[in-house]
């Protein structure tokens, strides 16, 4: 049987601690099952038919191992194998699909303002500003970019990050696309962009959200998609908070949840960000429903908490060759059959090229409780053991 083993992970920082910190590394595929051949230079295997990767008993229709990227894999998997005792039976390796995360970052002029010093409430902060005796702290921009740089660097190998800034001029300008397009291993590009950017302009939140949705809709792949909105106040530029909330609702309805982070916010911004957080489908289970942060340390903790919620529960799978039927499939987690269910079990992703775990099964993937996952296919009328 095909095995998918989760290795313990340590040292993941911020978003990296949870955001897709699991994948298949085929270069270290196990060959301990009886009759399974070790991969050769051209992918041939003893005991099975030659193919583009490692094979096994009875031959395998599944492509196997490819190149090496170094480092110990977080998942270790066997190649797909056939079983002559059940018609068309093959066991598929599953590869976790990293989430696509678009960081939508407010760079309006107010981001130059100082964050509230630790231990101060808003009233104390206003008073010390008037008296000009506030303890020195970072600007909102410096606090945000510092925490983002740390998190993106730690998680870039497991998360497909992108960056979109708003505004893109010194007024209300927003153009379609991203300042740094979503891609794997994107930390350097994002950090370089942040280092070369300074706050300025107004806050065109509504326009930026709509533009983010258009960009994400062009990606054309089944990876889970998220927007991480980080802003310090209400939308301006002729659009009110209700319009921004509608833009967030449109993203959530398109299957793109929105997390809302409020950076040293106060006053009317609290109501606006709370409304957006509820509309985005991923509010905090506390008041306010958005994620309020005051310092870089707060932000790092918030990013880590959000990361735990959006760890991918979507796994790539290749449809089987005939006579196996892609509609006759069994998914097992830790040896137990997972029911087919849109709400608490497993379901196919778009075009049947991915398997998504839902409900409590996804929770167990994110918590690490599930350490062994496999999908098996067989002929239409065959009973999969």
**Is there a single domain that holds both residue 72 and residue 152?**
no
Residue 136 and residue 90 share a domain: no
Query: Does 90 or 46 have the greater pLDDT score?
Result: 90
pLDDT digits (tens, 9 = 90+) for 314-340: 888 877 888 888 889 999 998 899 999
Domain boundary among 287, 309, 331: 309
Total number of domains in the chain: 2
Per the model's pLDDT, the better-predicted residue between 370 and 344 turns out to be 344
The Cα–Cα gap between 255 and 282 comes to: 12
User: Which residue, of 309, 334, 365, is where some domain finishes?
Assistant: 309
Residue 385 forms part of a structural domain = no
- The enclosing domain of 156 has a CATH number of 3.40.50.410
Evaluate whether residue 383 is within a structural domain: no
Give the residue-averaged pLDDT of 232-246: 88
* pLDDT beyond 90 at 197: yes
215 falls within a domain = yes
281 and 346: one domain?
A: no
Indicate whether 263 and 303 sit together in one domain: yes
User: Is 214 among the domain residues?
Assistant: yes
Distance (Å, whole) CA 116 – CA 122: 7
Q: Which letter, b or e, does each residue of 94-131 get, where b requires 16 or more Cβ atoms within 10 Å of its Cβ?
A: bbbbbbbbbbbbbbbebbebbbbeeebeeeebeebeee
Q: Is residue 175 part of a domain?
A: yes
pLDDT tens-digit series, residues 59-99: 322 233 233 333 322 222 233 455 557 898 988 778 788 89
Task: Give the whole-number percent of the chain exceeding pLDDT 90.
Answer: 39
pLDDT value of residue 279: 97
**DSSP strands (E only) in the chain:** 4-6, 75-77, 82-83, 89-92, 95-96, 100-106, 160-166, 180-183, 225-231, 258-263, 291-293, 314-316, 325-333, 336-338, 346-348, 354-357, 373-378
- The answer on pLDDT for 20 being more than 60 is no
- The DSSP line for 259-285 is EEEEES--TTHHHHHHHHHHHTB---S
From the list 349, 346, 351, the residue with the least C-alpha distance to 362 is 346
**Residue of higher predicted confidence among 350 and 208:** 208
Which tens digits make up the pLDDT trace of 100-118?
A: 999 999 999 999 987 777 7
Between vectors from CA 291 to CA 288 and to CA 293, what angle results, nearest 5°?
A: 110
Q: Are residues 144 and 251 in the same domain?
A: yes
Residue of 109, 98, 108, 194 whose CA lies nearest to 145? 194
DSSP characters over 196-264 = T----S---HHHHHHHHHHHHTTS-S-S-EEEEEEESS---TT--HHHHHHHHHHHHHTT--EEEEEES
Q: What is the mean pLDDT of the chain?
A: 77
Residues in the chain: 385
Range of the domain at 374: 4-96+315-378
User: Nearest to residue 356, comparing CAs of 224, 183, 219?
Assistant: 224
CB 158 within 8 A of CB 20: yes
Domain boundary among 309, 326, 347: 309
Domain assignment present for residue 285? The answer is yes
296: confidence class by pLDDT, cuts 50, 70, 90: confident
Say whether both 173 and 291 belong to one domain: yes
Instruction: Assess whether 33 and 51 both reside in one domain.
Output: yes
Specify if 384 maps to a domain: no
Same domain, 91 and 133: no
Between 123 and 254, where is the model more confident? 254
What mean pLDDT do residues 192-196 have? 94
Measured CA to CA, the distance from residue 94 to residue 92 in angstroms comes to 6
Model confidence at 189: pLDDT above 50: yes
The answer to whether the CB of 31 falls within 8 A of the CB of 2 is no
Taking 80 as the threshold, does the pLDDT of residue 158 lie above it?
Answer: no
Does one domain contain both 299 and 272?
A: yes
64 and 149, same domain (yes or no): no
Give the span between the Cα atoms of 267 and 234, in whole angstroms: 10
Q: What is the mean pLDDT of residues 216-233?
A: 91
> 326 and 233, same structural domain?
no
Both 133 and 181 in a single domain? yes
Kindly tell me if the per-residue pLDDT of 39 is higher than 70: no
């Amino acid at each position: 049987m095909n095995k998918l083993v989760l290795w313990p992970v340590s040292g993941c920082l911020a978003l990296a601690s949870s955001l897709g910190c699991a994948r298949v590394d085929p270069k270290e595929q196990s060959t301990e099952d009886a009759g399974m051949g070790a991969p050769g230079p051209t992918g041939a295997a003893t005991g099975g038919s030659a193919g583009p990767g490692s094979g096994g008993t009875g031959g395998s229709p599944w492509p196997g191992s490819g190149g090496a990227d170094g480092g110990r894999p977080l998942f270790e998997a066997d190649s797909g194998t056939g079983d002559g005792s059940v018609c068309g039976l093959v066991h598929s390796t599953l590869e976790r699909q990293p989430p696509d995360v678009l960081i939508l970052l407010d760079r309006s002029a107010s981001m130059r303002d100082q964050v509230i010093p630790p231990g101060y409430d808003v009233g104390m902060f206003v008073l010390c500003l008037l008296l000009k005796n506030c303890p020195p702290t970072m600007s909102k921009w410096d606090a945000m970019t510092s925490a983002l740089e740390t998190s993106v660097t730690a998680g870039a190998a497991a998360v497909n990050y992108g960056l979109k800034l708003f505004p893109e001029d010194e007024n209300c300008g927003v153009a379609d696309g991203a300042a740094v397009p979503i891609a794997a291993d994107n930390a350097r590009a994002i950090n370089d962009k942040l280092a070369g950017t300074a706050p300025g302009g107004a806050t065109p939140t509504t326009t930026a959200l709509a533009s983010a949705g258009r960009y994400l809709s062009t990606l054309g792949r089944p990876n889970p998609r998220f927007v991480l909105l980080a802003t310090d106040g209400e939308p301006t530029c002729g659009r009110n908070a209700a319009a921004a909330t509608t833009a967030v609702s449109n993203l959530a309805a398109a299957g793109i949840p929105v997390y809302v982070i409020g950076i040293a916010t106060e006053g009317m911004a609290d109501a606006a960000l709370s409304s957006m957080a509820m509309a985005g489908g991923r509010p905090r289970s506390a008041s306010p429903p958005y994620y309020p942060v005051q310092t870089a340390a707060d932000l790092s903790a918030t990013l880590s908490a959000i990361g735990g919620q959006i760890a991918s529960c979507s796994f790539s799978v290749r449809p089987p060759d005939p006579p196996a039927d892609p509609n006759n499939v069994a998914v097992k987690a830790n040896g137990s059959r997972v029911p087919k269910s849109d709400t608490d079990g497993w379901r196919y992703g778009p075009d049947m090229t991915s398997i998504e775990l839902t409900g409590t099964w996804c929770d167990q993937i994110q918590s690490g409780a599930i350490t062994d996952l496999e999908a098996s296919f067989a002929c239409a009328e065959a009973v999969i053991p």
